[in-house]
Structure 1
C-alpha cells in the first residue's frame, strides 16, 4: 500500500494515534513502515508532492487555526500544507470525498492480465473456488493521465489583470470610507440619544433639546470625547509587539501574529490607517476604532479623538505630542504596554514609572492571546466611560 492510502485508511478508522515516528520512519502500527520524507501521491496547488511527514503532521493538527498551525510546524522544521489545500486534503483523508484531482497516481498499476487470478482446477476439471471480482474501472483510472488540470485551464497567458486589481482596490476603499462615515454618524446619534434619555427629555422636546445640546454639558468636546471614530495610536517601530500590521488580528480575533510574519503575508505597502471593530458576537459590532501609527499626521481636532496608545517604552515616542508631560498624556489617553510574559523585568522598567497598563502574552501559547485582547478592550471601555463623565 502507498503512504497516502495508508494514512487515509488510518484517518478514516480513527487510528491516527497508532502512527508513530521512529527515527526517520513512520510506523503504522505493525502494518506498514514508510520513510518520513517519502513523497505521497497528493500534489499541492503549488505543484509539489506533499511528503508523508507533512501530511501526518497536518492531519494530527488540522483543528488549529492556520497561523497557529504554521508557527508550530516551523518550530519543528516540518513543511506545511498551504491554506488553499487544507480543506480538500482533509476531506479526502477523512473519507468525505472518494477522490480528487490533486492525487497523482503512479504509473505502476497492474495490467488486466497480470491481476486476473488463475483458476485452480482439480484433475477432474471442476472449479475449486470462484474467482474474485476484478474492478476493471479502478485499473483503468490508475493509468489515466489528464491532458489539463484545473490550474492549466485557469491560466490566462498574455493577459494583464492589473486594471481589475486597481478597480477592486478602489471599490474596497470606497466601501471602507462609507462604513467609516456610517459609524461616525451612528456614534454621534447614539451619544445624543443617550444624553436625551439621561435627562428625561420626552420625544416632544427633542427639537428644543437638539438646539441646546451643543451649548450644554452634552457637548462632546467638553466631555472629552470628540465626534467621530475614536483613534488608537501604535508605534511605527518593529521592535514593539503590536504594530499597525498585526493590531487588527490581535484586537478583533484575539490572535497575536508577529509583525515580520504579517508583513510577509501582506505583500504590500504599509496601511496609513486600519479600522478595528470590537464585536459583541461574531456578527454584531459594538464599536469601531481607527488605528494609526503616525501621530505627526494628526490634525489638532484629531487629537480629541485619541483614546489609547500602545507604548514602545521609549521617551522619543512622544516627541512633538501636544501635551506637556507623561502625566497629562496618560490622564487623557490610556496607555498599554505589550510584553512577553517571560521577558526580563528590565524591559518594562521605564513604563512602570508611567500610568500605563502592562499586558503580557505568551511567546508560544497562542490560545492565551484572546484573554489579553479582552483585557485591552475592558480597560479601554472603562477608561472611555470614566473620561466621558469628566
Structure 2
C-alpha cells in the first residue's frame, strides 16, 4: 500500500486527526504503520531526492531542524473539518489571481459548475467594467459523501483568508510560480501540499 494513497484516503474521510507521527513511524489509526523515512512520489527540486513521509508533518526550518507549521497544524486540528459537507461547512477553492492564467475568478464557475471553458478575457469583457469579484460561489450537485448540492467559495486572494479559513481549503489551482504562494501561511510547497490541502 502506498503511504500517500493512505494519506489521501484519511484526508478525504476527514480522519487526519488519527494520523500520529511517532518518532520513526507514522501511524494511520489502527490500519497502517509506515516508517517515517519511507520515500514518497514527491521529489525535492534542489536535491532530486524523494521527500520522506515525515515531510507531511514537518518542514525544514532555517536552523535545519524539522518544525511543524503552527498554522497548518491549527488548520488540521480545526473541528470544522469533522462536519459533513453541506452542514454549515463551506469549502474554499483557491485560484491564481493573474488574469493570464487559464482558470481565474472570472471563469471558474463556468468551468467547475457547467464543465465549459470560457476564456477569462471574454468573461471580463462581458462584465463591462464591473469590479473584480472578491468571491464566487458555485454549486456542485454531485459530491461524494454529501446528501445534496454543495456550495463552494472560490477566491483568488490568499492574504484575505483567516486562520480558520485555511481549514476549509479543499482545492487549489496553481501556476507553479513562487509568487502565487507569497501570501500563504505555509513555509513551502511540501508544507502546502502535505498539510491536508489539495491532493
TM-score (norm 2): 0.52
The structure showing larger relative contact order (alpha-carbon pairs under 8 Å, at least 6 residues apart) is: 2
Whether contact under 8 Å (1:225, 1:304) holds in the other structure is no
Return 5+ residue gaps in structure 2 as ranges.
Answer: 1-13, 15-75
Distance 2:158 2:80 in 1: 22
Residues 91-140 of structure 1: CA distance to partner in whole angstroms, max 9, x if unpaired?
Answer: xxxxxxxxxxxxxxxxxxxxxxxxxxxxxxxxxxxxxxxxxxxxxxxxxx
Shift of 1:280: 3.2
Distance 1:302 1:294 in 2: 12
Distance 2:81 2:95 in 1: 21
Residues 155-203 of structure 1: CA distance to partner in whole angstroms, max 9, x if unpaired?
Answer: xxxxxxxxxxxxxxxxxxxxxxxxxxxxxxxxxxxx9xxxxxxxxxxxx
Distance 1:228 1:222 in 2: 10
> Do structure 1's residue 298 and structure 2's residue 195 form an aligned pair?
no
Whether contact under 8 Å (2:140, 2:150) holds in the other structure is yes
1:327/1:223 CA distance change after superposition, 3 Å: farther
Distance 1:253 1:222 in 2: 32
**RMSD, matched Cα:** 2.7
Return 5+ residue gaps in structure 1 as ranges.
Answer: 1-190, 192-218, 335-382, 384-390
Distance 1:240 1:225 in 2: 33
1:285/1:279 CA distance change after superposition, 3 Å: same
- Paired residue for 2:185? 322
Moved over 6 A (4+): none
Whether contact under 8 Å (1:245, 1:262) holds in the other structure is yes
Residues 31-85 of structure 1: CA distance to partner in whole angstroms, max 9, x if unpaired?
Answer: xxxxxxxxxxxxxxxxxxxxxxxxxxxxxxxxxxxxxxxxxxxxxxxxxxxxxxx
Distance 2:80 2:131 in 1: 37
Residues 333-386 of structure 1: CA distance to partner in whole angstroms, max 9, x if unpaired?
Answer: 11xxxxxxxxxxxxxxxxxxxxxxxxxxxxxxxxxxxxxxxxxxxxxxxx6xxx
Distance 2:101 2:95 in 1: 9
SS at match of 1:242: coil
Distance 2:105 2:183 in 1: 20
> Do structure 1's residue 221 and structure 2's residue 78 form an aligned pair?
yes
Distance 1:220 1:273 in 2: 25
SS at match of 1:228: coil
Shift of 1:222: 5.0
Whether contact under 8 Å (1:237, 1:243) holds in the other structure is yes
TM-score (norm 1): 0.28
Structure whose residues are more often strand by fraction: 2
